[in-house]
């Protein structure tokens, strides 16, 4: 059932994708043999640094012009059920794998002093989370993909429920209930695809021709499953609660990588497997995206809690990502992918800074931290950089992605572009409010102001470099993703998709019945 032309074995010596998935998981198991917290920290850091170094050869050996998936590992898993251990990456999954491995060491370093109880278990959860998230982005068997998708809930639940804030249990349970609810629809969609295609192989399903009714319902099921993870309005309310209560490392993982699972799913499944329904139902995605941009921006502007402000800004920024996907043109798709990566770097940096402030003042309130930046020049340097990137200031990485999303929106409709512009202005308002308050405001205790030290520089500087680099030179990222995005865009322009739109208008009453 596989398409041999789409599956290219690894040109590297060794199963690198399996190593990226299972090395962190093996590290988590080894932590069971460790007793001292300091040893657990160093072991986790070494494992995650090694995982990142092992991911770099993938970028070096990747050939962007080669169609299909590269570094493929294909082994029979459960032959009777037609399940395979099938891994591979292409131009939209490899950047997300690199982002995941790149941020891994930062989650350990930011927790070095912050986490003082059950350190071994905490580091094990970090390692498990990284391995499982990588598995989501490299799995090409739908059951394997769903396994990693669901397994991610366990370590994230523990991170929030054990090491979170005062309302950690409420936040953790809400996170699990929302995501499990979305996963039910994802499972239904996977079963539906198997009924139609008689295979769980994603490359084989790419050639599947679906009846309009099936495509309609599969699109909605996938959208419901991924919308919770993104999260899209109105199923976003778990995110602020989870961010506020999660430890700093948990917030970084949530914002930088976990939310990208949803938008990755839209590109990988909705646009690629149900292209005709995507065109017909794109207005629904656009409306939800505009709602997220405006609603998230207004709520962020009203917040006094720093982490909650950043959390609502994530709702707005992910709205730009889904908008870029929903407009279905090349500029929008490019902007969506770039914004996914840039949001991971920028918002991850902001949550790291919020955690560093909390370590000093034991408060997340703007008023309690107001004015401390005047006494912390190193801290303010990074705060200014990540804040400017968050509001898409020219010369920062987020500017390129947001500009392409806006360009795609205006290309689709001038009216749509006009609706989105206030969202960009709101981002400037809430980010400048936070930046100016923390730097020049009054109310913070100067005795608590302690500038960032070497460990914190080591956490923040690696994130700052690509924020500046990709702001001026995004070509390496575009070179990876453009061939895949062009293929997706070509499928969306097919005559079959145009005919589907006409058909669905006539058949919708009977489909709904």
Q: Are 199 and 151 in contact (CB under 8 A)?
A: no
Question: What average pLDDT does range 313-337 have in this prediction?
Answer: 94
- Mean residue pLDDT of the chain comes to 89
The rounded radius of gyration (Å) of the Cα atoms in the chain is 22
Query: What is the spatial distance between Cα 256 and Cα 263, in angstroms, rounded to a whole number?
Result: 12
pLDDT tens, residue by residue, 77-97? 887 777 899 999 999 999 999
pLDDT at 198 over 90: no
Distance CA 348, CA 397 (A): 13
Residue 103 has pLDDT above 90, yes or no: yes
**402-417 pLDDT tens trace:** 999 999 999 988 999 8
Using alpha carbons, select from 268, 235, 243, 223 the residue that is nearest to residue 88. Answer: 268
Is 60 exceeded by the pLDDT of residue 495? no
Are 396 and 388 in contact by the 8 Å Cβ rule? The answer is: yes
User: According to the 3-state scheme, what is the secondary structure of 242-257?
Assistant: HHHHCCHHHHHHHHHH
pLDDT over 80 at 13, yes or no? no
Going by pLDDT thresholds of 50, 70 and 90, the confidence category of residue 505 is low
| Residue 317 exposed, middle or buried by CB count within 10 Å (0-12, 13-18, 19+) | buried
CA dist., res. 399 & res. 413, Å (int): 21
List C-alpha distances in Å: 103 to 108, 119, 147, 198, 257: 9, 19, 23, 38, 9
Confidence of residue 5 (pLDDT cuts 50, 70, 90): very low
pLDDT tens-place string over residues 257-278: 999 999 999 999 999 999 888 9
């Amino acid at each position: 059932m596989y398409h041999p032309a789409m599956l290219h074995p690894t040109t590297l010596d060794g199963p690198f994708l399996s190593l990226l998935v299972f090395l962190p998981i093996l590290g988590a198991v080894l932590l069971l043999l460790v007793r001292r917290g300091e040893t657990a920290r160093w072991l986790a850091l070494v494992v995650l640094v090694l995982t990142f170094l092992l991911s770099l050869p993938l970028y070096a050996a990747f050939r962007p012009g080669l169609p299909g998936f590269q570094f493929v590992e294909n082994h029979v898993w459960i032959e009777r059920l037609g399940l395979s251990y099938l891994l591979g990456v292409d131009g939209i999954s490899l950047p997300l794998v690199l982002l995941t491995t790149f941020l891994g060491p930062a989650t350990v370093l930011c927790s070095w002093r912050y986490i003082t109880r059950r350190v071994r278990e905490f580091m094990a959860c970090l390692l498990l989370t990284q391995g499982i998230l990588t598995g989501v982005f490299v799995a090409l068997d739908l059951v394997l993909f769903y396994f990693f998708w669901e397994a991610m809930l366990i370590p994230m639940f523990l991170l929030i429920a054990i090491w979170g804030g005062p309302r950690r249990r409420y936040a953790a349970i809400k996170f699990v209930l929302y995501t499990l609810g979305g996963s039910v629809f994802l499972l239904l969609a996977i079963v539906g695809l198997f009924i139609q295609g008689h295979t769980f192989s994603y490359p084989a399903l790419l050639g599947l021709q679906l009846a309009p009714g099936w495509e309609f319902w599969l699109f909605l099921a996938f959208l419901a499953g991924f919308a919770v993870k993104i999260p899209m309005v109105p199923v976003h309310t778990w995110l602020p609660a989870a961010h506020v209560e999660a430890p700093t490392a948990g917030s970084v993982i949530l914002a930088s990588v976990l939310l990208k699972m949803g938008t990755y799913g839209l590109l990988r499944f909705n646009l690629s497997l149900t292209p005709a329904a995507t065109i017909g139902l794109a207005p629904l995605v656009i409306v939800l995206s505009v709602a997220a941009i405006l609603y998230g921006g207004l709520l962020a502007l009203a917040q006094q809690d720093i982490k909650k402000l950043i959390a609502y800004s994530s709702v707005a920024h992910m709205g730009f990502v889904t908008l870029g996907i929903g407009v279905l043109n090349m500029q929008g798709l490019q902007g969506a992918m770039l914004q996914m990566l840039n949001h991971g770097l920028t918002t991850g940096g902001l949550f790291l800074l919020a955690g560093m402030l909390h370590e000093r003042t034991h408060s997340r309130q703007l008023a309690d931290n107001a004015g401390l930046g005047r006494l912390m020049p190193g801290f303010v340097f990074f705060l200014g950089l990540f804040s400017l990137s968050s509001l898409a200031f020219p010369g920062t990485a987020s500017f390129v992605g947001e500009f392409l999303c806006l360009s795609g929106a205006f290309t689709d409709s001038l009216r749509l572009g006009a609706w989105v512009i206030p969202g960009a202005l709101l981002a400037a308002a809430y980010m400048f409010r936070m930046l100016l308050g923390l730097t020049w405001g009054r109310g913070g205790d100067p005795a608590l102001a302690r500038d960032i030290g070497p460990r914190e520089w080591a956490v923040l500087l690696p994130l700052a470099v690509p924020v500046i680099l990709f702001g001026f030179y995004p070509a390496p990222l575009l070179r990876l993703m453009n061939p895949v995005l062009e293929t997706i865009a070509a499928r969306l322009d097919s005559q079959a998709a145009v005919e589907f739109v006409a058909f669905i208008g006539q058949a919708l009453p009977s489909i709904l019945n």
